[in-house]
Amino acid sequence: MIQLRNVYKQFGDRLAVEDLTLTVPAGEIYGLLGHNGAGKSTAISMMLGQVWPTSGMVRVCGHEVTSHRSQALIKVGAIFEAPAFYDYLSGARNLQILSSYTARTPRGRIQEVVEWVGLAGRENSKVKTYSHGMRARLALAQALLPHPELLILDEPGSGLDPEGIHEMRQTILRLHQQLGLTILLSSHLLHEVEQLCTRIAVLNQGRMVFEGDLSATRQRVQWVRLKVSDFSTAVTTLREARLISDHRDGCLVALSEGASSHQLVNLLVHTGISVHEVAHEQHSLENFYLELMGGKRAKN
Amino acid sequence: MFWLHLRNELWKLFGKKRTYIGFGAFILAQNGMLLMFRFTRWQKNWERVLAGNGYLAQDYLSALTVALVMLIPQILLLMPLYTALVGGDLVAKEAEDGTLRMILSRPIARFRLLLVKWLAGIVFAGTLVLALGCTALGFARLWFPWRGMFVYSLWPEHIFNLLTPGHATQLYVCAHLLMTLNASAIVGLAFMFSCFNMKPAAATILALSFLFINVVLEHLPFFEPYQEWFLLYHFRVWLLIFADPIPWDRIMGSLLVLVAFNLTTFLAGTAAFQARDIKS
């Protein structure tokens, strides 16, 4: 659905995106991760033909964006971090205006989408009277109006309260399941991405540092929380026995390949170190992300 | 689809209060000038000029005469300000507010988007001039009768003419058509600047600065032989329509210059916008 090949984008002296190659297959919920300034929004802007790549190829829905932008975006809906509207006009008028840039939209379709996103009854109020959550729903409505096949969401949960984030998450899942949309979700809310996405790409300083299935992030190093009488002696002992490959935070150890927590406990008890607690650390995306970023920072 | 886009652009433009600042300011200024003309020595001076040339003041101190008197300073001072304000907003305000990014996530060509915005700006210019002409005439009619027109101007063009009500009305309409072209040129100039990566206020200020520099240079003795190179020289054709005889060759020449200026600013703005990156 989306293909980027060796894409570079330079703003003055700053290289915002460097040699970015990624493919978003149809039917996926694809997460684009990275901290602020990592290049996520620039990458999305290039997919939408708002920012021109310095070099490389950007294809959306089978069309090259730089040369055939209009064809590429016909079946695309997008939502940005802070959706902007004409506050002095009604929600319905905003939808009418924004959808007209894709195609003429019948009133019935606008009403249908307004009801789908839960804005029925408020569509004729001026947007300046809308709450943040209602603006988010209006943003979703405008993205859905042209019957998209691909939805690009740039930080959609930003600024929403927990209830709003939950609602947005449920809506994204509904869109994926009921309408079969391909969704590209850019976020730095790792928990969100973990719950929604099937595949992710991680950007750091404009470069892609990981691309793969979300499950792959869980198959990496297994961390064990270890509470013992003397952590540093325990680490030395376990390293000598090659049972662990790393340690951090004064209580976490990374199991070596093939090692188990059972072996850890046995060795520590035999060495006379009291073991108070052993627990497998849940390997969340957050751990993976921090590991990845930590590793990159160390390299830099 | 083109008409739908244009209609939507007009909804956006005329839906915001800011667009009407110019209309409000004009109405206030017109009434202020009307009261000044009516209750100061201004009217008496005009009666004296008419009498001194052998004409009866009551035949020519009419709604049409006073409407034109009210228009001259407003066209010179207020119109550039308000048209530049709206022109500067056309693209830059949308970029600043973030709505431009929403639009450009849609499959609309940048050229078409700018074309409808530019046309909406021209519609605004026409509406402002039309409203200006109608209200000037309307307010003047409240105080003065419908009679012949006396055109007396020493600056920016020297004109002295007396017209019958019918002929004067025709010329008054013609003058407003020419003024629409002037207003469009100012909207187009501010629009061009607003296509670059800058704040709406900066676009407005740049457009006004361009006009101001034109005025200053035009009045320097050194540039007297080069008057035709200045935009404001061509802006004055609306007043020349009241001259006797009407200098059609100069009017046509200025019209061509203004049309060319309008197209140039549009194309320059479009070229800049086409190459621009639109980021949040």
Q: Is residue B200 part of a domain?
A: yes
**Residues of chain B numbered 2-21 and touching chain A (CB < 8 Å):** 4-5, 8, 11-12, 15-17
**Contact between B230 and B214 (Cβ < 8 Å):** yes
Q: Which residue range is the domain that position B30 belongs to?
A: 2-273
Judged by CB atoms closer than 8 Å, whether chains meet at A70 and B101 is answered as no
Judged by CB atoms closer than 8 Å, whether chains meet at B277 and A45 is answered as yes
The pLDDT value recorded for residue A218 is: 66
Q: Is residue B204 part of a domain?
A: yes
The pLDDT value recorded for residue A194 is: 82
Task: Provide CB contacts within 8 A for B208, sequence distance 6+.
Answer: B80, B81, B84
Q: What is the mean pLDDT of chain A?
A: 87
The pLDDT value recorded for residue A295 is: 59
CA-to-CA separations, B196 to A220, B90, B273, in angstroms, rounded: 49, 12, 6
Strand partners, A277: A227
pTM score of the predicted model: 0.84
Domain count, chain B: 1
- Write the ipTM: 0.82
pLDDT digit of tens for each residue in chain B (280 aa)? 888 999 999 999 998 888 888 788 888 888 888 888 888 888 888 888 888 888 888 888 899 999 998 888 888 888 899 999 999 999 999 999 999 999 999 999 999 999 999 999 999 999 999 999 999 999 999 989 998 898 887 766 788 888 899 999 999 999 999 999 999 999 999 999 999 999 999 999 999 999 999 989 988 989 888 888 999 889 988 889 998 888 999 999 999 999 999 999 999 999 999 999 988 6
Q: Is residue B278 part of a domain?
A: no
Task: Give Cα B84 to chain centroid, integer Å.
Answer: 10
Task: Provide CB contacts within 8 A for B226, sequence distance 6+.
Answer: none
Residue B99 has its nearest CB partner, among A74, A85, A152, at A85
Report the distance separating Cα A33 and Cα A192, nearest Å: 11
Residue A174: pLDDT band with limits 50, 70, 90 = confident
Condensed to tens digits (0 to 9), the pLDDT of residues A91-115 reads 999 999 999 998 888 888 999 999 9
For an interface test with A, give the residue of B12, B105, B112, B274 to mutate (most A CBs within 10 A). Answer: B105
Q: Over 60: is that where the pLDDT of A296 sits? A: no
Domains of chain A: 2-217 (3.40.50.300), 221-282 (3.30.70)
The answer to whether B280 faces chain A, any CB pair under 8 Å, is: yes
Q: Is residue B212 part of a domain?
A: yes
**Residues of chain B numbered 257-276 and touching chain A (CB < 8 Å):** 275
Q: Is residue B279 part of a domain?
A: no
Q: Is residue B280 part of a domain?
A: no
